[in-house]
Chains A and B, each alone.
Chain A
Amino acid sequence: MAAGQQGSGSAAPAAGDVLVMVGTRKGAFLFWSDDARRTWQRSEHHMGWSTRAMSYDARTNTIYAAVSSDVFGGLVQRSRDGGRTWEHFNDGLDFPAHEERRVREIWQVQPGHAQRPGEVWAGTGEAGLFRSRDEGAHWEGVAGLNSRIATDNWMPGGGGLILHTILMDPTDPNRIYAAISAAGAYRSDDGGETWQPINKGVRADFMPEPTPETGHCVHKMALHPARPDVLFQQNHMGFYRSDDRGGQWTDISEGLPSRFGFPMAIHAHDPHTVYAAPLVADERRFMPEGQMAVWRTRDDGAHWQSLTNGLPDGAWLNVLRDAMATDPCESCGVYVGTTGGHLFYSRDEGDTWQSLTDYLPPVQSVAVARVVAA
């Protein structure tokens, strides 16, 4: 359907600012600063709406937010003026009327490849991949992947059956990755027409056959634009790296306090440096021994280091799958949001941490970008 518009105040980030986009259970928050990252301004948006993910499209200076209501379903919100005003869309962002499955929540909105102007992708629950060719105004289901639901070994994870990760290969506009819980990771090499599961080497101990082709509970996946053939994955069953676009995965969990966790992020300038936030499995899902910690590897997962300087003890916190991100500043910043409503950040690659804000609703997502225009 067509868009609605809502205003939300006059404060907005300027060109060159670092923009931190925080999605929570009850709304979205924007924080922005210069590269010093000492003084932050903020604005609030979509209050009362669960915001699962946000993203920034540098091609068009657009902020996207995936918002949903338990009652009224999901929408894509779009702002072209730094959050001053928003338009909302959902035309075509559901499965065909004759199907039983329905989109009840939007889990991801990601800008498309630089060579595909207007293209934006969305991931949903119930799991589906949707594509817009007009910057989010209209959507169509990606049949090549969505139709596999009927044949592959898919089942809901703790968050439902959801498509939560969409990655673009910056060197090839036809190569797209999607990750689904609990189905596993998929890759398309033809612009989304056909998809193949890429889960070899990933454990699925909860399945009758522990090494199935699909059915894996991937929690988050990422790639670095300078080395797009290498993927990292935080899975329900461990932390993994693939050096061949998902063809084979290597377990790199050794050295972490737990195989279990949700989010992960890659250093903005060093593709070998990756951050994780391991949690105690399985029903506990809080920081081991109540010590808030981010873990960092500088060598592709061969060794891991606990980062706790400035992070609280006695903190039985959970960090959800989209709630960690890095910024593009010269000294790479790292941002972590918790279900307790905290937003911690580091301005020195994770060596030291401080609070950016407290007392938010439970944080569901954190994304960071540099604003290209005011």
Chain B
Amino acid sequence: MSEDAVAVQTVHVRIPAQIRRLYGASAQEQVQAATVRAVVQALDARFPGMGERLMEPGGHMRRWVNIYVDGEDIREKNGAETMLRAGCEVIIVPSIAGGNNEKNTATGTS
């Protein structure tokens, strides 16, 4: 299937705090994209430079950037070419993650 024929839909993207602060992005952005690669391109168009934080110039995802689509690691799927469904959730998780600056919540840990 050619790129042109892929349905482009709205997906929800969770942005990690470290680059959210750098680009003034929200915790969750909504973009129009048919693949994970297109998500990165859409984010880069909205926040110039963000694409290179996630993907190297050769087009590979950065080694320690993990992306989950509806809870599934794209490495277990089709990598950057993983197809997206309308309304799906794309979560960007840096490998060196952990800790929580927010106040405890009912689901948080003390």
Contact = CB atoms under 8 A, between A and B. Distances in A.
A73 B22 contact: no
B87 interface: no
A116 B28 CA distance: 44
Interface residues on A, range: 20 to 34
A36 interface: no
Contacts of B21: 6
Interface stretch (B6-14, B29-37, B56-64, B77-85): B56-64
Interface residues on B, range: 20 to 34
Interface in A9-52: 48-49
Given A6-B21, A6-B22, A97-B57, A73 B51 contact: no
A56 B62 CA distance: 31
Contacts of A4: 22-24, 47-49
Contact of B18 (A2, A71, A91, A102): A71
Nearest to B97: A71
A1 B52 contact: yes
B75 to A, nearest CB: 15
A70 B18 contact: no
Nearest to B55: A73
Residue picked from A71, A89, A90, A91, most chain B C-beta under 10 Å: A71
Nearest to A77: B22
A70 B49 contact: no
Given A94-B56, A96-B57, A71 B95 contact: yes
Contacts of B65: 71-72
Contacts of B89: none
Nearest to B48: A2
Interface in A48-97: 48-49, 69-73, 75, 88-91, 94-97
Given A4-B23, A72-B94, 8 more contacts: A3-B49, A6-B21, A48-B18, A70-B95, A71-B65, A71-B94, A72-B53, A90-B49
Interface of A: 1-6, 48-49, 69-73, 75, 88-91, 94-99, 102
